[in-house]
Chains A and B, each alone.
Chain A
Amino acid sequence: MKRLFGIFLNGIVVENPLFVIMIGLCSSMAVTTTVANGIGMGVALTFVLVMSEVIISAFRKFIPDSIRMPVFLVVIAAFTTIMDLAMKAYFPALSKSMGVFIPLVVVNCIVMGRVEAFASKQPVLDSLFDGLGMGLGYTWVLVVLAVVRELLGNGTLLGRQILPASFEPMIFFILPPGGFLVFSLWMAVSNSFRRKLLTRSKPEPTTATCCALPDSSTVEKA
């Protein structure tokens, strides 16, 4: 149980896909102009990630090594399309505001990266927790990015006016340069926290045994 929790935590802070592994950044910059979009994208990616990891982990013995990439892609694309259709049917407003980024989950590096690096080698339960951890790690980063960008760039949160009307929105934060700035500042905060966490729990057994990729610097930056 502790091992599974370690895997789960791994994705949230220790090996956060955005702040530490630094993959899948393009969509994170594009959708975080509003908090609602950030949450929607996070949930969408978590769904695709968890489902793809579980399925691929369950069938990992039946996927020949030489065609693993096309098979992964088929599985990921199927789940992305399912989610895209479900969103169009039941959350049309969200689907409209995220536009092309939902179908683009197919080529999101996080999904492909975790499936290749983790799920294709680990048992189902571990993969499930890895997917949840990574998905949640992605989601919280999107939300904190979006909170700052929407609040300062538009004066609202979740579409509701928060700052007084006299506040002139700083459109800079909604635009890509503002996104990069907010992202880098948050990354600095998160990584200083992560360093403290890792030095304090140096003899932590979970981090050493749980992860397929104990040293994040070896991960290929996709």
Chain B
Amino acid sequence: MKGFKMLKLGLILSAYCLVGCVALAAVYNSTSKVIAQRQADDLRAALQEVFPTADSFVPTDKVKSPSEQIVFEQAFTANAGGKSQGIAVKVKGPSYGGPTTLLVGISANGTVTGVKVLENNDTPGLGANAASSTYYVNKTTKTTFAGQFAGKKLTDAFEVKNDVLAITSATITSRSITGLVQAVGKAAGEALGIGQSTTVRPVELVPGADEAHMAAAQAVSANPSVTVLETWAVTREGTVIGAVAKVEGRGFEGKITGYVGLSQDGTITGVVLVSSGDTPGLGDQVLKSSFTDQFVGMKASDPITVGNGVTAITGATYSSTGAAALVKSAADALEKALAGGGL
């Protein structure tokens, strides 16, 4: 008899739960679309805010978070007129009162285009001022805490109370947000080929150029030992005047990575080799500009091999040969890409 009573109570309780669930399902169905739509609109508006010059945002997975505590929830390439202008990342990381979420825009020329605090659970009146649009860290110029990052160079120190103005009585919040912006800057910079470790800016490899855009399609190397990692189209006042490729090839023992710029007429305009896995003091001498500058002015159609216009580094013939092959393959690939109009 007691078992029957328990069963009855259980059934009654489940009846209430069932009705509750049905009601919730109905409400969820009617609101979920509105909520999703609103969140998408919010994100889109926020992206536009941190990247005012872009007109479309395409999700990308190229940007990788440097640590487990910092989560890159979403990343977008910001495009204008079909050309990539940079990267915007929605990043979540720890702050004083729990996780904080930011949207950070990084342009292809290595500056922060904007920062917006999407979520922040820090102390109201102190750390929460990070998200406020009326709290100014600089009252004379009416700069908000997040607003001060716009236009900041990735090569800056990002030090609170030095080149970043702190929020009064909220140093931890200020530091964590600054750190997140810098982390995004670093990761996006690497993805865009403007990382701090390699200060190569594609636009500088072609004289007279004023802008470099990520190319829509990669140039393809015909040499199997050389890989084109990234390709940029370089323009002057909107007209393509050349192209730059980030390439990786084989040296003596390790890999050589570098950038090669080629003008529209097939002349090599700039070569920068950024890393070499070869013997320190010998093979890695190919990174020196005294070696790389000899390529400038050569044509992509030239043979470009050691002995054929290229002078090898003494004691590092293999590395020099590898570097020359790298430049030759990159130039060939770029010339093909430029001729094909695929940029």
Contacts and interface: CB of A to CB of B under 8 A. Distances in A.
Nearest to A82: B27
Contacts of A78: 20, 23-24
Nearest to B12: A64
Interface in B1-35: 9, 12-13, 16-17, 20, 23-24, 27-28, 31-32, 34-35
A85 B35 contact: yes
A67 B125 contact: no
Which among B32, B35, B169 has the greatest number of chain A C-beta atoms within 10 A? B35
B38 A153 contact: no
A82 B125 contact: no
A77 interface: yes
A99 interface: yes
A128 interface: no
Contacts of A139: none
Interface string A33-77: 110000000000000000000000000001110110011001101
B42 A88 contact: no
B124 interface: yes
B13 A154 contact: no
B31 A171 contact: no
B123 to A, nearest CB: 7
Nearest to B126: A171
Interface string A80-120: 01100110111010001001000000000000000000000
Contacts of B134: 161
Contact of A64 (B9, B17, B38, B119): B9
A92 B42 contact: yes
Nearest to B17: A74
A82 B24 contact: yes
B125 A89 contact: no
A75 B19 CA distance: 9
Which among B20, B23, B42, B123 has the greatest number of chain A C-beta atoms within 10 A? B20
Interface in A118-166: 153-154, 161
Contacts of B34: 89-90
B223 interface: no
Contacts of B42: 92
Contacts of A77: 20
A212 interface: no
A208 interface: no
Contact of B9 (A66, A81, A82): A66
Contact of B20 (A75, A99, A174): A75
Nearest to A156: B134
A67 B35 contact: no
Contacts of B124: 33-34, 174-175
Contacts of A70: 13
B121 interface: yes
Contacts of B119: 96
A17 B287 CA distance: 75
A81 B24 contact: yes
A99 B100 CA distance: 13
Contacts of B126: 171, 174-175
Contacts of A90: 34
A85 B27 contact: yes
A9 B42 CA distance: 42
B123 A92 contact: no
Given A77-B20, A175-B123, A86 B27 contact: yes
B196 to A, nearest CB: 34
Contacts of B38: 88-89, 92
Which among B34, B42, B119, B124 has the greatest number of chain A C-beta atoms within 10 A? B124
Interface string A168-183: 0101001100000000
16 contacts: A33-B125, A64-B9, A64-B12, A67-B9, A74-B17, A74-B20, A78-B20, A78-B24, A81-B24, A82-B24, A85-B31, A88-B35, A89-B38, A99-B121, A153-B125, A175-B123
Interface of A: 33-34, 62-64, 66-67, 70-71, 74-75, 77-78, 81-82, 85-86, 88-90, 92, 96, 99, 153-154, 161, 169, 171, 174-175
Top 3 nearest A-B pairs (CB, nearest first) are: A174-B125, A78-B20, A89-B34
Interface of B: 9, 12-13, 16-17, 20, 23-24, 27-28, 31-32, 34-35, 38, 42, 119, 121, 123-126, 134, 169
